[in-house]
Structure formats: C-alpha cells, structure tokens
C-alpha cells in the first residue's frame, strides 16, 4: 500500500515537473506571440487583434535584406556542415580504425568551445593574419565549424545502427563503392542528412555570437534584432521572433511527421529493447 502511494506520488511529481518546464519554456514565446498580433502589445490580455506589426516588419527594407542574408548564411553553413559531417561520420564508422578516438575528439571539440570564442578567434585570424574583411563567406565558414559537430552527432545517432552488410552485399554483387553509396547507402541514410541540414540551417540562420564578429557590414536578422534591442524592445521584435518561431516549429514538424509516419526510417534497423 505504501509502495503504491509512493509510486503514484513519484509519477505525479515527474509529470508536474515536465508540465512546469514546458510552461517555463513556452510562456515567454506565447506571450510575445500574442503581443505581436495585438494593438496593446505591452499587456495583450485580452488582445485587440491587429496585423499592423507584421505589416511594418515585412515592409521594412532593412529586415528584408537581412532576411535574405540570413537565408544564404543558413543554407551555406547548413549544406557545408552537413556534407562534411556526413563524410566524417561514414569515415569514422567505416574507416577510422585505431584513430577513431583521436578523430572523434577533434570532430566534437567545437561543442566544448563557446560560440563567441569561435567568432572572436576567426575574427582575429581573418582580420589580423589573413587581412580579410568580414563578409558573408567568412561567416558561413565559421558557422559551419560550430554546426559541423551538431550535424555529426545527429548523423551518428542515426547511423550507428545502420546495417553495413547491405553495402557489403552490393559490393559482393559487383557494385563499385560509388554506385553502392548512391544506390544503397544514400537512399537509406537521407533522413539523417535532412535532419542534420534542417537543424544546422536553423542554427546558422539564427546565430549571432559567431556571425556578429565575421559579417563585417552585412546585416542578418539576428544582428539587426540585436541592434534594435539595444534601444529597447519594440513590437516589431516580438513579431520577428514569432515569425521565426513559427518557421522553426514548421521545420521540426515536417521532420517529426516524416519520422513518425515511417517515411523516413532506416533499413534493417533491429528493434531495440524497451529503454525504461
């Protein structure tokens, strides 16, 4: 009897913590989301609906240019880091041998160096030793360093259960390594690649701490928002944050639906035992 009571208490305590954490994370997001659509932006309870804030945001040419730059930064850094991380993951699992530990340490090292240090170090290297002005390309490269480790982790969690006997089978039947990759490996691992690209794209798109030091005079959405934030929070910033939040939710939603409906699973994945 006491055991059952304790069990129920544990259950409710755990679920309550979970619910409170979601509340903590989403309350500010919902609040500014509401504020972005309300005339009384400071305290929108009850809200008087309006779309003016979004109109001003989308009509502002500064934000339009910044959006395009952010988009290029996200696509560039996302694609570069995903490709490199895919190569690194395949190499680590298949070809690294005794050097696995050393290489893995190098590959995940950017996770353990703060973003702002990556930004500052790249600024010093580019500005002082290469005498390059900051621009979009240098920002893409520096962001790709940080994104690379995240892409590697995402792909590693997806790939380490991949059944390499499939590749061996293809090769035994005479397929070249390249053909094996494009006809066997790639069709089975693309969800991992897509997931890594979506996550790294979003990270680079929204990054400030690295990009800030490398962009030179190129505005991106986070840098413009940072500039505006110094003069206090305005409803336009709420609208901007809300728009980005909606896009992120959409991106992760697509990923989730693909995984959940089984459109994106991995071939010959052994059923794992129940975890807890």
Partner 1 sequence: MTRRNFASRAAGPLLLGVPTLFLLALFVVPLASMVVLSFWRTENYHIVQDWNLGNYITLATGGPYVTFLIRSLVMATVVSVISIVIAWPVSYAIILYGGRYRLLFTLAFAVPFLTGEVLRVIALQGLLGPLGLINGVLMALGAAPLRFIMYTNIASAIGLVYLYLPIVVTVIYLSLLNFDARLIDAAKIFGASPLRAFFEVTWPLNLFGTLIGFALCFIPCLSATLAPRFLGGPNGTLYGMAMAQQFGESGTWALGAAMGVVLFLTSILAVLAIGMRVNLRRTGFTGFGRG
- Nearest approach in angstroms of CB 187 to partner 1 is 19
Positions in 115-154 near partner 1 (CB under 8 A): 115-118, 120-126, 128-129, 141-142, 144-145, 148
* Alpha helices (runs of H) in the chain, residue ranges in sequence order: 2-36, 52-59, 61-94, 100-108, 115-124, 136-159, 165-172, 177-180, 186-206, 211-214, 221-229, 235-260
With contacts defined by CB under 8 A, name the span among 55-63, 98-106, 182-190, 262-270 that binds partner 1.
98-106
Distances (CA, A) of 128 to 116, 117, 120, 188, 256: 18, 16, 11, 45, 44
Size of the site for partner 1 (CB under 8 A): 102
Q: Work out whether 37 is an interface residue with partner 1 (CB under 8 A).
A: no
The span from the CA of 44 to the CA of 27, in Å, is 13
Q: Which is nearer to partner 1, 51 or 247 (CB)?
A: 247
Residue of 2, 112, 262, 271 interacting with partner 1 (CB under 8 A): 112
The span from the CA of 236 to the CA of 241, in Å, is 9
Q: Work out whether 27 is an interface residue with partner 1 (CB under 8 A).
A: yes
Q: Work out whether 238 is an interface residue with partner 1 (CB under 8 A).
A: yes
- The SS3 call for residue 49 is strand
Q: Work out whether 6 is an interface residue with partner 1 (CB under 8 A).
A: yes
Q: Work out whether 85 is an interface residue with partner 1 (CB under 8 A).
A: yes
Evaluate the omega torsion of the peptide bond into residue 46 and state whether it is cis, within 30 degrees of 0.
Answer: yes
Positions in 152-191 near partner 1 (CB under 8 A): 156-157, 160, 176-178
Residue of 73, 90, 189, 193 interacting with partner 1 (CB under 8 A): 90
Q: Work out whether 62 is an interface residue with partner 1 (CB under 8 A).
A: no
């Amino acid at each position: 009897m006491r055991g059952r009571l304790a069990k129920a208490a544990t259950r409710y305590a755990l679920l309550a913590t979970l619910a409170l954490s979601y509340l903590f994370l989403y309350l500010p997001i919902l609040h500014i989301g509401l504020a972005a659509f309300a005339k009384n932006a400071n305290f929108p309870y009850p809200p008087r609906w309006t779309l003016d804030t979004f109109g001003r945001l989308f009509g502002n040419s500064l934000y339009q240019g910044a959006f395009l730059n952010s988009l290029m930064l996200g696509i560039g850094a996302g694609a570069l880091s995903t490709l490199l991380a895919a190569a690194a993951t395949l190499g680590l699992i298949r070809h690294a041998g005794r050097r696995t530990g050393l290489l893995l340490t190098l590959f995940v090292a950017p996770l353990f160096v703060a973003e702002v240090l990556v930004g500052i170090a790249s600024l010093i290297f580019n500005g002082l030793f290469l005498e390059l002005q900051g621009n979009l390309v240098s920002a893409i490269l520096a962001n790709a360093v940080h994104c690379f480790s995240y892409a590697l982790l995402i792909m590693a969690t997806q790939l380490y259960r991949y059944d390499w006997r499939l590749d061996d089978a293809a090769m035994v039947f005479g397929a070249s390594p390249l053909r094996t990759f494009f006809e066997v490996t790639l069709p089975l691992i693309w969800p991992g690649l897509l997931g890594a690209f979506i996550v790294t794209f979003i990270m680079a798109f929204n990054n400030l701490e690295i990009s800030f030091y490398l962009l030179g005079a190129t505005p991106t959405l986070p840098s413009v928002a940072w500039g505006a934030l110094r003069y206090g929070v305005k409803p336009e910033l709420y609208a901007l944050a809300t728009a980005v939040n909606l896009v992120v939710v959409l991106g992760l939603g697509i990923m989730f639906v693909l995984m959940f409906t089984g459109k994106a699973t991995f071939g010959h994945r052994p059923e794992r035992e129940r975890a807890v």
